[in-house]
Chain A
Amino acid sequence: AQKITQTQPGMFVQEKEAVTLDCTYDTSDPSYGLFWYKQPSSGEMIFLIYQGSYDQQNATEGRYSLNFQKARKSANLVISASQLGDSAMYFCAMREGDQGGSEKLVFGKGTKLTVNP
């Protein structure tokens, strides 16, 4: 079974509008972390936001927020006020456990976001 599921291969949004990118995950580990990365056409992976399994509040970083619904095992990324530069691939990833950085990340298949002017 897939550990990270991103059901939207592609999404379109108008500039200045908000968009939600879906991510569901599967784990039995009580300690885990969820990450969102942006990958523009240049290929670099840009870290956007992190949510820990024990975090009580939804994470926010500027225009990015994470809608964390633990019971549903979902961690959707919300981008507010979309900009043309937001057009890129977006990957959701999960780290299971907490052993000081040696845990691997498992990535979803990604969502290609296109922001239209």
Chain B
Amino acid sequence: GAVVSQHPSRVICKSGTSVKIECRSLDFQATTMFWYRQFPKQSLMLMATSNEGSKATYEQGVEKDKFLINHASLTLSTLTVTSAHPEDSSFYICSASYSGDHSYNEQFFGPGTRLTVL
């Protein structure tokens, strides 16, 4: 099956610093990547959708200047949390999908990144 990796898996940073999270599709070219945030004991909330080479589409209420998304290639998307604060502490999960011969148009999820802002 299609594999998506995320790096780092866990990061702790000081308030005010920026953190970059990478999402890579390892064995397929992802036409679309998605970024989710999940608070403890809650569901996944979509933050943004990005297509390679174009600007990300952010969900309502998500600050695009705070959560910078770059989808520079068909195998890599990055999420940068700028000037992180403790309330940004969360589990960030990416997923990727591709148009092609798979019947579900399934999203393949990365293992997630746990961000803790002190």
B43 touches A105 (CB 8 A): no
B23-75: which residues lie under 8 A (CB-CB) from chain A?
31-32, 34, 38, 42-46, 49, 51
The segment from B14-22, B76-84, B92-100 that touches chain A is: B92-100
Contact B32 A102 (CB under 8 A): yes
Cβ–Cβ contact A107 & B44, under 8 A = yes
A29 interface contact, C-beta 8 A: no
A102 touches B112 (CB 8 A): no
User: How far apart sit A110 and B44, CA to CA, in the bound complex (Å)?
Assistant: 9
- Say whether A43 contacts B111, CB under 8 Å: yes
Q: In the bound complex, how far is the Cα of B104 from the Cα of A52, in angstroms?
A: 8
Out of B46, B106, B112, which one reaches A44, CB within 8 Å?
B112
Q: Measured between alpha carbons, how far is A44 from B42 in the docked complex, in Å?
A: 14
A84 contacts the other chain (Cβ, under 8 Å)?
no
Write the A60-104 contact mask toward B (1 if CB under 8 angstroms, else 0): 000000000000000000000000000000010001001011111
User: What is the number of residues of chain B that contact chain A, defined by CB distance less than 8 Å?
Assistant: 28
Residues from chain B with a CB closer than 8 A to the CB of A37 are 109
Query: Which chain A residues have a beta carbon within 8 Å of chain B's beta carbons?
Result: 33, 35, 37, 42-45, 47, 50, 52, 91, 95, 98, 100-110
Output the residue of A47, A101, A105, A108 with the most chain B CB within 10 A.
A101
Besides A43-B93, A101-B32, 9 other A-B contacts (C-beta < 8 A): A43-B38, A43-B111, A44-B112, A47-B106, A52-B104, A101-B31, A101-B99, A104-B49, A107-B43
For A45, the chain B residues whose CB sits under 8 A away are: 44, 93, 95, 109, 112
- Bound together, the chains give a CA A35 to CA B104 distance in angstroms of 9
Answer whether residue B114 sits at the interface, using C-beta atoms and an 8 A cutoff. Answer: yes
**B31 and A102 form a contact (CB under 8 A):** yes
